[in-house]
């Protein structure tokens, strides 16, 4: 069987089981003990290092797969390559620390392009924290950028596996604009300049929710994921990891106003399954979630965690009828 | 200007200056302070985390660039992808800790190939230490594997920048076999089976010097680099970082016996500039280096650090005449 037939997430699960079965646990002298707290299957790995917790994540952009680099400025590509990693760190409730940058470069890439790529990365880091501490440059037939990033925290981590029946579900901001920006790039339509630029910016210059992730952890939230593959898809992953189901109310899903304006017919589809919003989806006891939502001006309560099969997500109307949601989300290996 | 005209190492230096000039230092609350000890320009980055030091490195294999994956088993590709990172950790004197694995996969890669790739990675980790804690899988037109790895130590780091005039220079083992293995792969010649297999193994199953790096640090060595780009080239980098020159004696360079047998004409060329040996090159006060060399059965004293222009390396005959050495080493961007 080929990897495209299996798909990205089944392949990750398969490899996680293989590592579990055939890998050895970390064996270090006692005075270097840094036990693993979170392994494969969350937004980042994490371990204890003395009184601190280190988190560790990596994310890659491949030209022509994630998006066509030619559609964006190198500055935007750099910003996005950092932002997606910053988002993973924030989804653990940690603060960004050090980044290693791997560039796969075709020989004809202009040096000035690489300079501007780095400037975009540095801008994202100067806004959200983190320092480029090294990396690797390799020749490659196509451009790719892999960032590996560490983060640090002294608070309990935000995990995918800690949702409990009865929890409220909330999201830190409006959804769908990134997918709207991608659609606009691929199929341009006439739109007011401010709508166009809001959609473009949501897709190419996503804003990782670093301060928000920290606030969630400080206020006592223990369960979160960042929305990279789409609200329903990421909620499903969170429910799978927690062994539980969820219900969200369609009318409460915060659709980005630029998406409503640009794609009124599909606004909910883009908000539910568009992906790459990089908002944080989180759960917790209802009174706590309500208090936290009140602290975050753009956050919304959207549903609740319920008893049920692991990973089941229902989208309901306000009167409680189920809305059929096209499955989807982003599978890197299956997409044509 | 294109990156191929500038070359890998000038590009890295340019980006390091850009990060220095335009990047912000890490700003974390005091109780999360984890100051950077080593940034761009050594085998790994490093920071202080309480009483421990974390090191952080990344290395990539691209199919058809580093080697043709079809020439090796997936198990070997996996071993090598881990080994090159383990080598960077060892070159800092640290112990391997956690690895994130990024796979760029064309859709037609068999799942069984990926399984065996992982088995090779896990074998290297079970031998040298380290645990796969996560990663990322992306679709890509060509196969690539990026590993990002952390390590930990409580001893002073092995750095490139700490060589001093009067230091002795030594290397942990014989050189040239990996380059010999690559040459044999590209231009097969008849050879005894044990020579062939020694060369193949040196290239496809390199042995990172993790225990040796730890021993160096414990014994008081403070300066080392791993030999990935070739003895002369990596010694030049070490001298550049230390602002000093070096002289090595050709007759003392430990040429791997399989290379002498397979390529008697070019044995010294392969040993001096072949690359990918993953032995550790280290310097220190002569009495200390002599004591350490006596502790490591395969190590050799090969030369000394001398006053002179930063980064100058001379190869001398035993009577002190200079041997012209073809420049070279491995530049990822310039190689055709």
Residues of chain A positioned with their CB less than 8 A from the CB of B138: 60, 62, 65-66, 144, 332
How many C-beta atoms lie closer than 10 Å to residue B22's C-beta?
Answer: 13
DSSP string, B89-158: HHTTT-EEEEEEEEEEE-TT-BHHHHHHHHHHHHHHHHHH--EEEEEEEEE-SS-EEEEEEEEEESSPPP
Cβ burial of A306 (10 Å; 0-12, 13-18, 19+) is middle
Report whether pLDDT(A212) > 70. yes
Evaluated on CA atoms A251, A327, A329, A288, the torsion sign reads positive
Q: Region A301-313: what's the mean pLDDT? A: 97
- What are A246's strand-pairing partners? A305, A313
Report whether pLDDT(A295) > 80. yes
B17 interfaces chain A, CB cutoff of 8 Å: no
Q: Region A73-90: what's the mean pLDDT? A: 97
Q: Region B141-148: what's the mean pLDDT? A: 95
Domain boundaries, chain A: 34-153, 168-323
B30 interfaces chain A, CB cutoff of 8 Å: no
The pLDDT of residue A68 is: 75
Residues of chain A positioned with their CB less than 8 A from the CB of B136: 58-60, 146
Over its C-alpha atoms, chain B yields an Rg (Å, rounded) of 20
Report whether pLDDT(B83) > 80. yes
Token couple for B243 = 């602002």
**How far apart are the C-alpha atoms of B4 and A288, rounded to whole Å?**
55
Report whether pLDDT(B262) > 80. yes
Q: Region A56-62: what's the mean pLDDT? A: 96
- What are A49's strand-pairing partners? A52
Query: What ipTM was assigned to the predicted interfaces of this complex?
Result: 0.94
The pLDDT of residue A318 is: 87
The CATH code belonging to domain A168-323 is 3.90.650.10
Report whether pLDDT(B335) > 50. no
Report whether pLDDT(B329) > 60. no
Nearest to A312 by CA among A223, A233, A250: A233
Report whether pLDDT(A327) > 90. no
Arithmetic mean of pLDDT over chain A: 94
A133 interfaces chain B, CB cutoff of 8 Å: yes
Token couple for B177 = 């076999």
Report whether pLDDT(B293) > 60. yes
Name the CATH code of domain A34-153 (choices 3.50.50.60, 1.10.3720.10, 3.30.1330.10, 3.20.20.70): 3.30.1330.10
What residues contact B66, with CB distance under 8 A and at least 6 apart? A138, B60
**Site from A37, A133, A335 to mutate, B interface, most B CB atoms within 10 angstroms:** A133
Report whether pLDDT(A76) > 60. yes
Residues found in chain A: 336
User: Tens digit of pLDDT for each residue in A228-278?
Assistant: 999 999 999 999 999 999 999 999 999 999 999 999 999 999 999 999 999
Q: Region A61-70: what's the mean pLDDT? A: 81
User: Tens digit of pLDDT for each residue in B170-216?
Assistant: 999 999 999 999 999 989 999 999 999 999 999 999 999 999 999 99
How many C-beta atoms lie closer than 10 Å to residue A78's C-beta?
Answer: 28
Task: Classify strands B313-316 and B245-249 as parallel, antiparallel or unpaired.
Answer: parallel
The pLDDT of residue A335 is: 45
Report whether pLDDT(A330) > 70. no
Percentage of residues of chain B with pLDDT beyond 90: 89
Arithmetic mean of pLDDT over chain B: 94
């Amino acid at each position: 069987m080929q990897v495209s037939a299996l798909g990205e997430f089944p392949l990750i699960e398969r490899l996680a089981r293989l590592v579990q079965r055939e890998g050895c646990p970390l064996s270090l002298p006692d005075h270097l003990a840094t036990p693993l707290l979170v392994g494969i299957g969350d937004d980042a790995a994490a371990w204890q290092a003395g009184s601190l917790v280190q988190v560790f994540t990596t994310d890659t952009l491949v030209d022509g797969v994630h998006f066509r680099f030619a559609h964006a400025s190198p500055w935007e590509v750099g910003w996005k390559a950092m932002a997606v990693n910053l988002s993973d760190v924030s989804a653990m409730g940690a603060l960004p620390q050090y980044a290693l940058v791997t560039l796969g470069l075709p020989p004809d890439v202009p040096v000035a392009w690489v300079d501007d790529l780095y400037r975009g990365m540095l801008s994202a880091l100067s806004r959200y924290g983190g320092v480029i501490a090294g990396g690797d440059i390799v020749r490659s037939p196509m451009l790719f950028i892999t960032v590996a990033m560490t983060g640090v925290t002294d608070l309990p981590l935000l995990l995918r596996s800690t949702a409990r029946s009865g929890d409220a579900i909330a999201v830190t901001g409006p959804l769908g604009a990134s997918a709207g920006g991608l659609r606009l790039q691929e199929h341009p339509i006439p739109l007011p300049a401010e709508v166009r630029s809001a959609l473009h910016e949501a897709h190419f210059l996503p804003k990782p929710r670093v301060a928000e992730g920290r606030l969630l952890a400080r206020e006592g939230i223990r369960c979160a994921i960042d929305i990279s593959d789409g609200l329903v898809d990421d909620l499903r992953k969170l429910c799978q990891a927690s062994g539980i189901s969820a219900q969200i109310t369609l009318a409460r899903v915060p659709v980005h106003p630029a998406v409503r304006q640009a794609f009124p017919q599909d606004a909910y589809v883009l908000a539910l399954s568009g992906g790459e919003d990089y908002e944080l989806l989180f759960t917790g006891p209802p009174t706590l979630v309500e208090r936290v939502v009140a602290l975050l001006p753009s956050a919304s309560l959207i549903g609740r965690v319920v008893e049920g099969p692991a990973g089941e997500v229902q989208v309901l109307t306000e009167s409680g009828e189920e809305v059929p949601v096209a499955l989807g989300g982003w599978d890197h290996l299956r997409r044509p």
